[in-house]
Amino acid sequence: MATTDSFANYVIRRVLQAIPVVIGVVVLNFTLLHLAPGDPAIVLVGEAGGATEEVLKEVRKEFGLDKSLLEQLWIYLKKIAKGDLGFSYFQGKPVLELILEKIPATILLILTAILLAVIFGVLAGVASAQRPTSLGSSFITIFSLFGFSMPVFWLGIMFILAFSLYIPLLPGHGMLTVGLVGDCWFIAKDILSHLILPAFTLAFIYIAQYSRLSRASMLEVIGSDYVRTARAKGLPERAVIYKHALRNAILPILTIFGIQIGHLLAGAVLVETVFTWPGMGRLMFEGILRRDYPLIMGILIFSSILVIIANLLTDLLYGFVDPRIRRR
């Protein structure tokens, strides 16, 4: 019981710690965004411009852009305290509704990328650590270096060229074939075919990172006493590696996973733009291009909350993977 209470206290403490972080994110981003040059009213009224001063004034008034920065910030803080993220200038919809519409696509993309990164990265790292001097290990090391060096947007374009144009196996943009009609299974298959290229693009750098990290971590663990003991007990090699060694070696990967959620969200902006994936990253890109302040702010708040949740989950996972931490 005491353990449950302390666990609940721990979670509550972490959530309370998150509140000033979110407020900090709001104030900092709000100020930075509004200090950047550019008037959204000009973009809003007409792509070909030529709006009269009266029309511009009216638009600025309608969206509260005629008020001072401090006034605008105060109004915004009051709104978000009530759970109102504001109204998108350009999309003509409440920001929360827009984010909720787009977030499933981003979560699907990010989770798939994480899954691919963990599976391929850890497997590659473990395989490389088992035979550190083999040709395969050298190949994995070179691949990791390649993965680190590739800019996400370039890699995305290369994948599109390779697998959509020259070998037309997979669709190169969108999440679903426009106007597709069919049962759930048919639609799921279509989404899956659209998901493969962007997910691999996003995962690529993390596959490289995880493989290097798990290789280093495994090399350290494989040489430790308890692994030698496990081998001496006559356990099969597979059990020694995957049951005993990997469990300890995976802890550093979990540590960086929490931190990387933020990076993954940033990477998703690029990947979603290259692949026209209809997620939050695309929404952010459009928002920035058009100075849609409420939309950008809403996405930043949401992203910061996602990062906080991911870090919290990482801490909890730590305890799950390593019982010693749980007992502490």
Partner 1 sequence: MFYLKKSFLKITLIFTLLLLFPLMVFSYSMAQTKIPRGGTLKMIYQEPTHLNMAIVSGTPTGIPGCQIFAGLLQFDENFKPLPYLAKKWEVSPDGKLYTFWLEEKAVFHDGKPITSEDVAFSLETVKANHPFGVAMYRAVEKIDTSNPHIVKFHLNYPYPAFMFALHPLLLPVIPKHVYGQGEIRKNPANYKPVGSGPFKFVEWKRGQHIIFEKNEKFFRKGRPYLDRIIIEFIPDSNARTVSMETGATHLVPFSYIARDDALRLAKLPQFAMTEKGYEAIGSRTWFAVNLRKPPLSDKKVRKAIAHSLDRNFIVKQIFLGLGKPATAPFHHAGPFYHGNLPQYDYNLDKANKLLDEAGYKRKADGMRFDVNIDWIPNPTYQSVCEYAREQLKKIGINANLRASPDFPGWASRISAWDFDLNFDSVFDYPDPVIGIERMYISKNIKKLIWTNTMGYNNPEVDRLFAEAQIEQNFAKRKNLYLKVQEILWDELPLIWIQEGGFYTVYNKEYEGIPMDVWGTINPYDAVYWRKGKAE
Task: Summarize as ranges the residues that interact with partner 1 (CB under 8 A).
Answer: 36-40, 42-53, 55-56, 62, 90-93, 98, 101-102, 153, 157, 160-161, 164-165, 168, 171-175, 178-179, 273-276, 278, 282-283, 285-286, 288-291
Which string of b and e fits 217-247 if b means at least 16 CB within 10 Å? bbbebbeeeebeebeeeeeeeeebbeebbbe
Rounded to an integer, what distance in angstroms lies between the CA atom of residue 147 and that of residue 143?
6
Rounded to an integer, what distance in angstroms lies between the CA atom of residue 177 and that of residue 187?
9
Token reading at 252: 């550093």
With respect to partner 1, which residue has the nearer C-beta, 206 or 275?
275
**Closest approach of partner 1 to the CB of residue 320, in Å:** 37
Token reading at 46: 């007409």
Token reading at 209: 């990172």
**Of the candidates 1, 4, 218, 29, which has an alpha carbon nearest to the alpha carbon of residue 122?**
218
Rounded to an integer, what distance in angstroms lies between the CA atom of residue 77 and that of residue 302?
15
Q: How many residues does the chain have?
A: 328
With respect to partner 1, which residue has the nearer C-beta, 90 or 143?
90
Rounded to an integer, what distance in angstroms lies between the CA atom of residue 177 and that of residue 171?
9
**Closest approach of partner 1 to the CB of residue 283, in Å:** 6
With respect to partner 1, which residue has the nearer C-beta, 143 or 163?
163
**Closest approach of partner 1 to the CB of residue 82, in Å:** 22
**Of the candidates 136, 108, 113, which has an alpha carbon nearest to the alpha carbon of residue 257?**
113
Rounded to an integer, what distance in angstroms lies between the CA atom of residue 7 and that of residue 165?
53
**Closest approach of partner 1 to the CB of residue 114, in Å:** 23
**Closest approach of partner 1 to the CB of residue 276, in Å:** 5
**Closest approach of partner 1 to the CB of residue 85, in Å:** 16
Residues 6+ positions from 60 with CB-CB distance below 8 Å: 39, 41, 66
**Closest approach of partner 1 to the CB of residue 29, in Å:** 16
With respect to partner 1, which residue has the nearer C-beta, 244 or 282?
282
With respect to partner 1, which residue has the nearer C-beta, 98 or 306?
98
With respect to partner 1, which residue has the nearer C-beta, 288 or 313?
288
